[in-house]
């Protein structure tokens, strides 16, 4: 039975929107395209509620799918892809005509041959195309709280399995429809359970049911990753399962079903389009599918838009990644469901219902199938041509190869290569040393060609391969933005600079980071070359590291594993007499150190260069003394070294041949085991918390998640020596801690605690009224270094220039520099992540600054306030005299700048990583920055700060070092903040 409020809402909508009443309220018939075979059960016979009256949970959905598949085995096959972190089985259905279902393996093999023109001539390709159905992949619910997608899927499966309508039969004959039933089962289950238990169908945007609590936030997966970003690094189990299945089938068309935009969205996509895609066929197919949808929507008087917002630039989405694989990859966004609940009142007082949102996705799904069916041969042919063109470009283009050196962290380099292999990129290992006469490094934008000898064992990605376009998109130092797009953003920027300080600013159309080059993000030495020589041994595609169905705790399923092809990890020199030396060059050495401490082994670290075992070791090298540890050390360190891929060295004498510091030296300092609290719950960013959670699980580090309320209740917190505050709203942190909470925090730090603040939390620490650091934010009213008062506009009432932090999280959301357009003005005061949920315009934002600190008061002149940077890679200088940079021997690092948070150097602490004012080179390595603003204001600021306070420390990171699991170069620095 329906809650009475929903009937009221229906009446209200009838009364309000007279002209569109028919379109809005006519109940969509999901069973109009029969006749249907009675042997196949309708979803409602199992769910017991009508479409859109309730949210289907995962187990019920499984019963629906399995019942349909069992009733129609000649049309439907079910494949298991693998388990999620919460033990839900991910499934892929293949639905097609009985004739096609009987020869699925043959079809798969045929399409695989089309995907490799090296093996398949044009004539053979034509023969295959003539007799092979097109592969269409329909994916649902990547964002678990986009719930119309989930319900739509069951209706689509039923239609295809049960209908005898001629059009549907044609689709089945011409297509193998792959239905990825749910891309994010864990997120959907959190959302559906919460909404079903709380929703009453009230359309008022202020009603509680339209705001998910912090711990629900069904958009993300278990580890609160946005799975629609993860195709770049495939850090999550779901992504790995789906990529493996995808590359087994090689689809030509893919649709990813989302929600909830203001009106329905389907392609053609907005600019910028990733320039590695061939522009003409990409545009032609997106337009063909878009026009087909438009005809259906126009006929039903359903509103929609195309282009406008959703681009295909960043390669980690589920439309861009398939596109780079040769498919027509599309994002569809419906306008109802999810946190909009059963009913949602729009800003013109009309009501949109969950059921209508489902109906629109349903029509769009079937329209895509019909369009693919009608264009089967032409689309298959363009798929073959995509791969042939890619191969051709790779053989003749300016970029012939990428060379990645295993270097000092072969595990990290191996992880990068593993990511490429998972995306189907062919990678070889150099059998012997080889020469390139035209190699370009990654250390600066447009690095000039040099002559370079590469060692045996170097990883080589030769672009003369069918995956050339994807490989290049992942690896090139910079992917150029469409010029017209960039010009338009600059024009808006210039207009904004001229606008009055209180005037509304134009937004920008960046959806995500504009630079992601994997060699830079991983901090591995790499080159691209204009030539190709030497002989390579190809690496095999990775097999699942763990059986998909193995019984295994989530943290173990995500524990780091050394890729099979990397030979690293173990103890050299046998059983140590005096000590084991752990070099700190590899990210995973941090894991080894922590896991030894966790088992109560005693470790020390060399604060200065060390000489031991006849060798010199850089500062940061760890020492495990035999005399301070139990007998079990020898066995455990050998085993953990293998697991973490760290080469450990046994030393049999304490005598240092040279230098000041040996194993027994004064500068070899004992380490204390970190006992870590991670701040959770509002106002913490869920994605920042999740990336931290995943990183710590991956390295086997224990922590206690704690809300601020409990932190305040817990009193002196003596059992913990580290508190990590993930990215979050600075104003929200301020409100949640309150004055007494901040004072307690300061006392705890001065007694010896280490507070680690990421991004928005670092802004919180730098607020004048918090003052946990002597650094201040550039452009804030508290920024004394800012250009001096002579410039201050005289016409400003003092009241508006008040420098105090905004007391409420909402206040922070005024968003003076938010990266994209503001959500609808009718939106209730939601959390930033929730605003993103509700605002389709920010659908593609990735871990963006959740909100702004109270920096830009009306008195701030625009030229003194940093414009938020849409994710660029910048060059920072490393201070190699502080423990924060242990393990970093280079003078400069590529770092991500993805906000307007620029920090003045600390006056009392250590500025460990800075944007040096004296740096003559451009700071920009890759990505979009604002001319006259970003570099000018960033120069001379700090990226990582250590602020000693009493016996403790506050460590500030300007950006989130765990961001989307992409920036592996920052991993050790993050660990340094609490290990040493």
Distance CA 856, CA 210 (A): 30
Least Å distance between CB 474 and Zn ion? 22
Q: Which residue is nearest to Zn ion (CB)?
A: 258
End-to-end Cα, the chain, rounded Å: 60
Nearer to Zn ion, 182 or 762 (CB): 182
Minimum distance, C-beta of residue 342 to Zn ion, in the bound complex (Å) = 19
DSSP letters for 32-58: -S--B-TTSPPHHHHH-S-TTSSPPPH
862, 806, 861, 809: which is closest to 833 by C-alpha?
809
| 754: nearest Cα among 976, 605, 954, 910 | 954
Shortest Cβ 146–Zn ion spacing (Å) = 5
Return the number of the residue (186 or 647) whose C-beta is nearest Zn ion: 186
- Of 259 and 662, the one with the shorter C-beta distance to Zn ion is 259
Reported residue count of the chain is 980
Do the Cβ atoms of 268 and 312 come closer than 8 Å? no
- According to DSSP, the residues that pair with 937 across neighbouring strands are none
- The residue (of 249 and 332) whose beta carbon lies closer to Zn ion is 332
Least distance in angstroms from the C-beta of 258 to Zn ion: 3
Q: Which is nearer to Zn ion, 310 or 522 (CB)?
A: 310
Closer to Zn ion by Cβ: residue 592 or 964: 964
For residues 244 and 258, which CB has a smaller minimum distance to Zn ion in the complex?
Answer: 258
Helices 587-598 and 410-422: angle between axes, nearest 10 degrees:
110
Structure token pair of residue 275 = 């320039």
Question: Among candidates 893, 180, 806, 869, which has minimal Cα distance to 510?
Answer: 869
Token match 């994010």: residue?
184
Of 878, 861, 846, 859, nearest to 942 by C-alpha is 878
Smallest gap from residue 491 Cβ to Zn ion (A): 29
Neighbours of 265 (CB within 10 A): 28
Residue 295: Cβ within 10 Å count = 11
Are the C-beta atoms of residues 241 and 90 closer than 8 Å to each other?
yes
CB of 261 to Zn ion, least distance (A): 9
Pick 510 or 733: Cβ nearer Zn ion: 510
Question: Least CB distance from residue 822 to Zn ion, whole Å?
Answer: 19
Q: Are 442 and 434 in contact (CB under 8 A)?
A: no
What 3-state DSSP class applies to 13? helix
Instruction: List the beta bridge partners of residue 94.
Output: 77, 178
For Zn ion, the closer CB: 186 or 879: 186
Q: Look-up: residue for tokens 């005809």?
A: 295
Work out how close the CB of 145 gets to Zn ion at its nearest, in angstroms, rounded to a whole number.
Answer: 9
Of the pair 144, 760, the CB lying nearest Zn ion is at 144
3-state secondary structure at position 759? coil
Nearer to Zn ion, 56 or 842 (CB): 842
Nearest to 142 by CA among 262, 56, 38, 228: 228
What's the min distance (Å) between Cβ of 304 and Zn ion? 16
| Least gap, CB of 276 to Zn ion (angstroms) | 24
Measured on CA atoms in the order 182, 187, 191, 192, is the torsion positive or negative? positive
| DSSP tag of 904 | P
Residue whose C-alpha is closest to residue 28's, from 43, 46, 44, 50: 50
Nearer to Zn ion, 143 or 586 (CB): 143
CB of residue 364 vs Zn ion: minimum separation in angstroms?
A: 14
Binding-site ranges for Zn ion (CB under 5 A): 143, 146, 258
Measured CA to CA, the distance from residue 373 to residue 852 in angstroms comes to 48
Q: Yes or no: say if 830 and 465 are a contact pair by the CB < 8 Å rule.
A: no
Q: How far is the CB of 143 from Zn ion (least distance, A)?
A: 4
């Amino acid at each position: 039975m329906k809650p009475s409020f929903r009937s009221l809402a229906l009446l209200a909508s009838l009364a309000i929107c007279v002209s569109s009443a028919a379109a809005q309220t006519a109940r969509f018939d999901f069973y109009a395209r029969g006749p249907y075979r009675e042997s196949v059960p309708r979803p409602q016979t199992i769910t017991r509620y009508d479409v859109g009256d309730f949210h289907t949970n995962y187990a019920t959905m499984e019963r629906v799918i399995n019942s349909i598949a069992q009733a129609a085995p000649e049309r439907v096959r079910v494949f298991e892809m693998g388990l999620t972190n919460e033990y839900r089985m991910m499934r892929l259905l293949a639905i097609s005509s009985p004739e096609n279902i009987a020869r699925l393996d043959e079809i798969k093999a045929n399409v695989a041959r089309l995907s490799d023109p090296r093996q398949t001539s044009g004539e053979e390709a034509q023969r295959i195309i003539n007799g092979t159905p097109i592969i269409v992949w329909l994916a649902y619910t990547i964002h678990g709280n986009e719930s119309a997608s989930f319900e739509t899927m069951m209706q689509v499966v039923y239609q295809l399995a049960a209908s005898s309508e001629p059009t549907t039969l044609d689709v089945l004959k011409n297509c193998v429809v792959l239905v990825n039933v749910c891309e994010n089962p864990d997120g959907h289950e959190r959302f559906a359970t919460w909404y079903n238990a709380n929703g009453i169908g009230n359309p008022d945007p202020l009603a509680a049911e339209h705001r998910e609590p912090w711990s629900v936030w069904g958009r993300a997966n278990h580890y609160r990753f946005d799975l629609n970003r993860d195709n770049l690094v495939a850090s999550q189990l779901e992504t790995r399962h789906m990529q493996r299945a995808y590359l087994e089938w090689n689809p030509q068309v893919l649709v990813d079903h989302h929600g909830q935009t203001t009106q329905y969205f389907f392609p053609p996509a907005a600019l910028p389009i990733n320039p590695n895609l061939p522009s003409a066929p990409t545009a032609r197919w997106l337009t063909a599918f878009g026009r087909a949808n438009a005809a259906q929507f126009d006929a039903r008087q359903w509103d929609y838009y195309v282009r406008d917002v959703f681009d295909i630039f960043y390669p980690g989405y589920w439309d861009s990644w398939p596109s780079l694989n040769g498919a027509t990859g599309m994002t569809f966004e419906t306008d109802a469901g999810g946190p909009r609940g059963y009913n949602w009142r729009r800003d013109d007082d009309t009501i949109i219902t969950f059921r209508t949102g489902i109906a629109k996705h349903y029509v769009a799904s079937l329209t895509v199938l019909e369009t693919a069916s009608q264009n089967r041969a032409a689309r298959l042919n363009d798929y073959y041509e995509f791969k042939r063109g890619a191969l051709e470009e790779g053989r003749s283009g300016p970029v012939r190869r990428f060379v990645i050196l295993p270097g000092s962290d072969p595990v990290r380099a191996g992880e990068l290569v593993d990511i490429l292999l998972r995306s189907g990129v062919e990678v070889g290992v150099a059998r012997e040393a080889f020469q390139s006469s035209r190699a370009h490094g990654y250390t600066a934008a447009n690095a000039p060609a040099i002559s370079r000898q590469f060692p045996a064992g170097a990883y080589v990605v030769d672009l003369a391969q069918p995956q050339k376009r994807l490989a290049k998109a992942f690896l090139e130092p910079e992917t150029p933005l469409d010029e017209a797009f960039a010009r338009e953003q600059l024009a808006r920027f210039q207009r904004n600079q001229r606008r009055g300080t209180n005037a509304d600013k134009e937004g920008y159309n960046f959806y995500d980071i504009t630079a992601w080059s994997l060699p830079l993000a991983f901090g591995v030495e790499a080159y691209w070359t204009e030539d190709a020589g030497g002989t390579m041994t190809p690496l095999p595609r990775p097999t699942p590291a763990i059986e998909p169905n193995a019984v295994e705790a989530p943290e173990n399923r995500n524990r780091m594993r050394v890729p099979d092809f990397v030979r690293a990890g173990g103890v050299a020199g046998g059983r140590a007499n005096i000590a084991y030396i752990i070099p700190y060059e590899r990210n995973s050495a941090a894991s080894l150190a922590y896991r030894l401490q966790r088992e109560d082994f005693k470790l020390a670290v060399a604060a200065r260069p060390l000489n031991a075992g006849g060798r010199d070791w850089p500062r940061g090298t760890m020492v495990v003394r035999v005399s301070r540890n139990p007998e079990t050390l020898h066995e455990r360190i050998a085993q953990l070294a293998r697991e973490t891929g760290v080469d450990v060295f046994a030393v049999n004498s304490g005598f240092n041949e040279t230098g000041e510091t040996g194993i027994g030296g004064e500068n070899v300092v004992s380490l204390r085991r970190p006992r870590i609290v991670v701040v959770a719950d509002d106002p913490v960013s869920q994605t920042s918390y999740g990336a931290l959670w995943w990183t710590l699980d991956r390295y086997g580090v224990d922590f206690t998640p704690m809300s601020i309320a409990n932190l305040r209740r817990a009193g002196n917190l003596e059992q913990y020596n580290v508190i990590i505050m993930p990215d979050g709203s600075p104003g929200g942190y301020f409100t949640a801690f309150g004055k007494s909470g901040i004072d307690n925090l300061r006392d705890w730090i001065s007694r010896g605690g280490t507070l680690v603040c990421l991004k928005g939390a670092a802004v919180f620490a730098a607020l004048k009224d918090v003052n946990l650091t002597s650094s201040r934010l550039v452009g804030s009213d508290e920024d004394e270094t800012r250009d001096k008062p002579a410039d201050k506009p005289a016409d400003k009432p003092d009241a508006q220039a008040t420098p105090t932090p905004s007391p409420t999280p909402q206040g922070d959301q005024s968003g003076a520099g938010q990266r994209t357009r503001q959500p609808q003005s009718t939106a209730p005061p939601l959390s930033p992540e929730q605003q993103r949920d509700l605002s389709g315009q920010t659908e593609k934002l990735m871990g963006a600054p959740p909100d702004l600190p109270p920096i830009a008061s009306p008195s701030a002149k625009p030229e003194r306030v940093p414009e938020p940077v849409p994710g660029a890679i910048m060059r920072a200088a490393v201070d190699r005299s502080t423990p924060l940079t242990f393990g970093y021997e280079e003078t400069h690092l590529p770092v991500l700048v993805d906000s307007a948070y620029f920090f003045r150097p600390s006056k009392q602490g250590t500025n460990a990583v800075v944007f040096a004012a004296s740096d003559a080179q451009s700071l920009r390595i890759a990505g979009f920055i604002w001319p006259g603003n970003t570099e000018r204001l960033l120069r001379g600021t700090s990226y990582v700060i250590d602020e000693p306070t009493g016996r403790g420390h506050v460590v500030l990171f300007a950006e989130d070092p765990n961001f989307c699991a992409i920036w592996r170069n920052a991993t050790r620095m993050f660990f340094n903040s609490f290990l040493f």
